[in-house]
Amino acid sequence: MIIRVRAFAQFKELIGNDLEVELREGTDVMMLLRQLADNKPKVHEAFFDQSGELKEYVILMVNRKRIQRDHAAGYTLHEGDEVAVFPPVAGG
């Protein structure tokens, strides 16, 4: 299946902005993130802490709806889904 990945700010610089990624059926959001970070130390460092857990500040959206990071493992993706990955957002 093909999933679209959109990354923003510093994540965009690391993985690109608009990717199409081919995944096996049954892949969840966490598996996708791990695949994006495979063999890319800077991406892995940006997404995951030293214990391998998704960093608290990573913001995830699937099909324009925010999902909690603790739901990323188990949130199954489907053909045509769009996953957006944001770094921390600050404003004023």
Give CA torsion, residues 76, 26, 28, 1, to 10 deg: -100
Q: Is residue 46 part of a domain?
A: yes
Among candidate residues 39, 51, 47, the one with its CA nearest the CA of residue 5: 47
Given a cut of 60, whether residue 69 has pLDDT beyond it is yes
Read off the pLDDT band of 23 (50, 70, 90): very high
- Give residue 9's domain range: 2-86
Read off the pLDDT band of 88 (50, 70, 90): confident
DSSP letter for 17, please.
S
Q: Is residue 33 part of a domain?
A: yes
Q: Is residue 80 part of a domain?
A: yes
Provide the token pair at 84.
Answer: 């957006």
CB 52 within 8 A of CB 37: no
With a threshold of 0.85, does the pTM exceed it?
yes
Q: What tens digit of pLDDT does each residue of 31-66 get?
A: 999 999 998 999 999 999 999 999 999 999 999 999
Mean pLDDT, the chain, integer: 93
Q: Residue 78 maps to which CATH number?
A: 3.10.20.30
